[in-house]
Chains A and B, each alone.
Chain A
Amino acid sequence: MRDAQQLASLLEIARHTLRQKLLPELEGERKFQAAMIANALAVAARSLDGGGEAEQEERAALRRLYALPEDAPPEPGELESLRRRLVDDLRRGRFDEAAPSLLQEALRRRVTARLSISNPAYSGTTGRSR
């Protein structure tokens, strides 16, 4: 397989086939399992397509929050250590008094980026999904 896009397309046609050809033939527990497989294929396809971007988005917002250079190339483990730093700061109360708008933005961006992969139809308070 040449690239992520083709792999995503492969998963998409696998999901389409499952939904169109197999799901209508199934009932009960087996139908439920097939629907779960279709769901897993959809998440995997979207992750291949946009998973890297979602992490990039989250990392960029955390770098802004901590006034780190935004255009530096990503280091291995950087995103997780930034998340860990934020969690430690939150527990210590560093953002208690004035949650900076950069913090709000970092949290919002993380959620939006991750939702675009796991559940793009979900829109919270105003949404109907789930």
Chain B
Amino acid sequence: MAVSPGALDAPPLSEPELGRLGDWLREALDARAVRIERCARLGGGAIQENMALDLAVFGGWREGRHELVLRTDAPSGLAVSRSRAQEYRILEVAHQAGVLAPEPFLLCEGAEPLGRSFYLMARAAGEARAARLVRDPAVRARGEAIAARLGGELARLHAVVPPVPGLDFIEVPEKLPMLVRIGELRAHLDRMSEAQPVLEWGLRWLERHAPPQGGLCLVHGDLRTGNYMVADGDVTAILDWEFAGFGDPLEDLGWLLARCWRFGAVEREAGGIGSRAALLDAYEAASGRALPRGHIVHWELLATIRWAVVALMQAQRHFSGNEPSLELALTGTLVPALEQDVLDYVGALEREQTA
């Protein structure tokens, strides 16, 4: 297994890269000088690489000290996620809409200076790791407030409806967003070596029972515990926007509520953090409209299947030999529990329909 412990401690950028980055920043910021005071690896996703970057900028339009995140593609990116440039545009739109997205700072689309595109954004304080958050007594004591805050943020985001200037690279779904998702997931499953009868059973059930569209808006696409930052018992930033797109607002709510994203705290239905009611009540208060609550469970089922498909794809990245990684390999072992959830969700939905 090619897990080299040394790789964890290696600086994320080489001296020449840091030099080129400093030069590029000085020019882009129109500054007299830019000093990179710190560059350190941050816990990243499986797809992107994040670094903490502290800058001292002398002169120009961004004079001062800045605590930033530099986000770039990991050596091998998944085609399903958006480019850094697109993600930056989405961040700008979300930030302008008043959502707690990190403030975008600067985008670099060219190959210079790092050989791949990257962007800089404000670095929010706090903790994002889900396992820490759901177990932290101080966070748990504030769980209802955090869930309510997430509901309000989602409502603000979902007020952004197409067409949105600057976001014309995002497709607007022409049929029911749930059916679009089902088609995408089947296409992924078709490229895998093993057939997945339980996931396919869930997809077929959803295809036949898809609820009417709950609206069409900008959705985050991956808002779950682990993808937002908490400091002093409150949310400081919503992170990881690479799956954002136009879709059904209920998709974000279903993703956050799905049983598989509760990190062991199953009784706290909203992300293992707070109650379903706290999330949805706050959402309705902020959006000024009632949610078709009965349809959210369908999206929870879809979320479960989508996470299972992503887990299978991550495992395949290891088992194909292209990207040896213990973490990727182990992700595949999550799938049977997700299959159990699929059976439970379909069972509950069917009981509800016959009741």
Q: Mark A residues whose CB is within 8 Å of B.
A: 29-30, 33, 36-37, 39-40, 43, 80, 83-84, 86-87, 90-91, 93, 95-96, 103, 106-108, 110-111, 114-115, 117-119, 122-125, 127-130
Given contacts A40-B329, A119-B337, 5 further A-B contacts (CB under 8 A): A36-B326, A83-B194, A114-B339, A118-B335, A130-B263
Is A29 a contact partner of B337 (Cβ separation < 8 A)? Answer: no
Is B327 a contact partner of A83 (Cβ separation < 8 A)? Answer: no
Smallest CB–CB gap between A48 and chain B, Å? Answer: 15
Contacts of B5 in A (CB 8 A): 30, 33
Is A129 a contact partner of B344 (Cβ separation < 8 A)? Answer: no
Smallest CB–CB gap between B26 and chain A, Å? Answer: 33
Within 8 Å by CB of B197, from A37, A110, A127, lies A110
Smallest CB–CB gap between A115 and chain B, Å? Answer: 5
Is A87 a contact partner of B197 (Cβ separation < 8 A)? Answer: yes
Is A29 a contact partner of B8 (Cβ separation < 8 A)? Answer: yes
Is B330 a contact partner of A40 (Cβ separation < 8 A)? Answer: yes
Number of B interface residues in the complex (CB < 8 A): 34
Is A93 a contact partner of B204 (Cβ separation < 8 A)? Answer: yes
Q: Mark B residues whose CB is within 8 Å of A.
A: 3, 5, 8, 186, 194-198, 200-201, 204, 208, 259-260, 262-264, 266, 326-327, 329-330, 333-337, 339-341, 343-344, 348
Assuming the A-B contacts A30-B5, A124-B341, are A43 and B333 also in contact, with contact meaning beta carbons closer than 8 angstroms in the complex?
yes
Assuming the A-B contacts A122-B340, A130-B337, are A107 and B264 also in contact, with contact meaning beta carbons closer than 8 angstroms in the complex?
no
Q: What CA separation (Å) do A67 and B198 show in the bound complex?
A: 20
Assuming the A-B contacts A87-B197, A90-B204, A114-B339, are A130 and B264 also in contact, with contact meaning beta carbons closer than 8 angstroms in the complex?
yes
Is A90 a contact partner of B340 (Cβ separation < 8 A)? Answer: no
Within 8 Å by CB of A33, from B259, B260, B326, B343, lies B326
Q: What CA separation (Å) do A98 and B256 show in the bound complex?
A: 32
